[in-house]
Amino acid sequence: MGESHPLLTFFMAAADGCFPPVDGQVTVLPPLPGGLECSVAFTGHAVVATAMTGQAVRTQGPDGFGASLSPDFLRHLAGPKGWIGVTDATLTARGTGGPPRLAELTDADDHSRVRHARELRTNVKVYGDERGLVTLAAGLAGRRELSIELHNVRDGSQGHGRSLLADALSLVPEADPVFAAVSPGNARSLRAFLACGFTPIGSEVLLRPERG
């Protein structure tokens, strides 16, 4: 998904605090590259990127007040056997720039976090140290996307998540927006992102349809 997509305009505007109108409506955009589609919810407005027509999308009655992420609507989008990802909170922050505080890794190709990133994103780069690893990539709609994973969380992260995130922001040019998709149920991770200056702007689900 390295190509720019019309959805990117919505993300970049939201990073600047400019959101779609709170009108309960659904904006329908073309599908994402690589056979992927998505449903993104902002406050009072939804954006769906799909190969389906606007009329076919609206058959299931989605709206901008939560119904665009309902299980029935997502299955309608994906088709009977299509893949539906998890519902993530969409977060954004600004890069801090300066000298990079993490080294790029070249031996992490088999790590599950890296494999997952390469399944859904392009231009994936991996960084890290003894605390964990970070991926930076062109993600949903071509936005710059960051994810992290600690090596050991059994005894608590001991602040490693927040410190790793803070260092990861040095990999992004100062003031440039960066995005992250975090499961709301992963409360420890969500708290770390919020503590490092990430702001919620919406929620999202990725899909790989199989409509027959």
Tell me the pLDDT tens digit for each residue of 1-25. Answer: 445 799 999 999 999 999 999 999 9
CA 212, distance to chain mean position in Å, is 27
Q: Whole-model pTM?
A: 0.94
- In DSSP notation, 127-169 reads EE-SSEEEEEEE-GGG-EEEEEEES--TT--TTHHHHHHHHHG
Residue 36 near residue 1, CB atoms below 8 Å:
yes
Cβ count within 10 A of residue 55: 8
| DSSP code of residue 178 | E
Tell me the pLDDT tens digit for each residue of 15-58. Answer: 999 999 999 999 999 999 999 999 999 999 999 999 999 999 99
Angle of CA points 201, 203, 207, to nearest 5°: 140
For CA atoms 166, 135, 16, 66, the dihedral sign is negative
d(CA 186, CA 28): 30
How confident is the model at residue 3, as a pLDDT? 57
